[in-house]
Structures are given as structure tokens and as C-alpha cells.
Amino acid sequence: MLLKDKVAVISGGAGINGLGFATARQMAAHGARVVILDLERAAPASAAARLGDGHLGLVADVTDKTACIAAIEQAVKTFGRIDILVNNAGITQPVKTLEITGADYDRILDVSLRGTLYLSQATLPAMQAQRSGSIVCISSVSAQRGGGIFGGPHYSAAKAGVLGLARAMAREFGGDGIRINCITPGLIETDITQGKLSAERKADIEGTIPLARLGRADDVAGACVFLASDLSAYCTGITLDVNGGMLIH
């Protein structure tokens, strides 16, 4: 098992059809003890229970630094260490540039970008003390290609910010034995996409993708397992595309 005896924290991980829970499930299958963080209404404890015994679900709003610190302290108290952090929490909004309000901008950037910073800040001291760790930040192909299908320009900006933040942290913390990398998913079929694409529109999009299908949550989860494991021991500051060839660059 690639992650035997590792402890993994995954934000935004309680949605059963989402990227975070798919990652939690695969990491648990590879031997990790998983801590799922999410908002109270998402019921992270119930999601963790679905993984089996020995996992933990905690309520935490990643836009609240105090909540991030408290959650990480509880994870360390429970398991003694943190080996993996997956910064997955994010929200989107399909609006055009001239429609974006200040409140819209703050809301989208706070979860994806500020949340990535706050949860990383809360986790990094524990990893520094261990002299090891892997942080995986979930960005998006929309950060690379300038817009997506379900996200507005402020979403692209937030996810581009995640790329820059992760690269800067990778430079800063490499000497502590901490690797920090990004994944840029393409269009992945999750609860966000359900019912929002007609069969015709879906077929049109698939026709533009070399692998001729939309992504699945497990496609991204597998990439997270790779970056969390020793298989990627010499990878830091990288951006791993998981988009079926939607963007080749």
C-alpha cells in the first residue's frame, strides 16, 4: 500500500460524489488514516465513517484561520502527525466579467485561495517538525486556459492564484522535506456538473477531448495519491494536468 500508516487531511472532502471524498476513499484504500474537513452542513463525520474505522471527520471552514488551526490541532492530537494535506475546498460561480460583484469576488477567492493559504499555514509547522510532508493543491484547467465551463473569471483568477501560491511554498519549504504540488483537473463529472449539461453539450465537449470523455472523480484522486506517495518523491512545485488532453501545452 502506497500510504500505509500515513495521515492525510483533505478539505472539502465530505461530498460523496466529489473529488475530495474520492481522494479520501483511495487514500484510505492505500493505508492512510484520513481526516475529512468540511462545513457542518456537509456532515464530515458521516463521510469519514463511510471510509470505515480509524478515520476522522471534523467541521472546519477554511476561510476561518482559527478553525483551520483548531482542526489541525485535533488531527495531530488524534493521530500524532500529518503527512499529507489536500487543499481541495473550493466553490465556483458561472458569471461573466462585468457581472462579478465585490461580494462574488471575495466569496470565490476566499474559499479557493485564502482557504489554501490558511490550511497550509495551519499544517506546515507539524510537517516542519517531522521534516517531511506532502501538500497537494487542487487548481483547475480554467487557470491555465483562461476560463472554464462552470466557473467565471474570478474562479479562474482564484485557481491561478493557487498555482502561484503552491509554487512559492514549494520553494520555501523544500528544505524542510515538504513537497508542495498542484493538480489542474479538467471537466470532471461531480455534483457540480450533474443536470447542467445536456446530452448534446456533453457530446460536443467530449469531442474536443483527446480521451473522448469527461473526467471522473477517481481520475483526480489517483493523481492525488501519486503526489502524496513516495512515487513522486522528487516532485515539488509541479502542476499535474488531469484533463484527458483538453489542454495540451
Q: Do the domain assignments include residue 152?
A: yes
C-alpha 91: how far from chain center: 11
Q: Do the domain assignments include residue 148?
A: yes
Q: Strand 133-138's sheet: what is its strand order? A: 56-59, 33-38, 7-11, 84-87, 133-138, 178-185, 239-242
Q: Do the domain assignments include residue 2?
A: no
Hey, which residues are catalytic here? 155
Q: Do the domain assignments include residue 247?
A: no
- The grid coordinates listed for 161 are 492564484
Residue 220 to residue 225: CA distance in whole angstroms: 9
Query: Looking at residue 234, what is its pLDDT?
Result: 98
Helices (H), 36-89: 44-50, 65-79
Count of CA atoms in the C-beta half-sphere (13 A) of 195: 2
Bridge partners, 223 (sequence order): none
CATH number for the domain including 143? 3.40.50.720
Instruction: Phi first, then psi: give them for residue 106, nearest 5 degrees.
Output: -60, -45
Q: Do the domain assignments include residue 62?
A: yes
Helix (H, G, I), strand (E, B) or coil at 59: strand
Q: Do the domain assignments include residue 135?
A: yes
Query: Looking at residue 76, what is its pLDDT?
Result: 98
What is the total count of domains within the chain?
Answer: 1
CB 82 within 8 A of CB 75: yes
Per-residue pLDDT tens, the chain, 249 aa: give them.
Answer: 999 999 999 999 999 999 999 999 999 999 999 999 999 999 999 999 999 999 999 999 999 999 999 999 999 999 999 999 999 999 999 999 999 999 999 999 999 999 999 999 999 999 999 999 999 999 999 999 988 778 899 999 999 999 999 999 999 999 999 999 999 999 998 876 666 677 888 888 899 999 999 999 999 999 999 999 999 999 999 999 999 999 999
Structural domain boundaries enclosing 128: 7-242
Instruction: Phi first, then psi: give them for residue 132, nearest 5 degrees.
Output: -165, 155
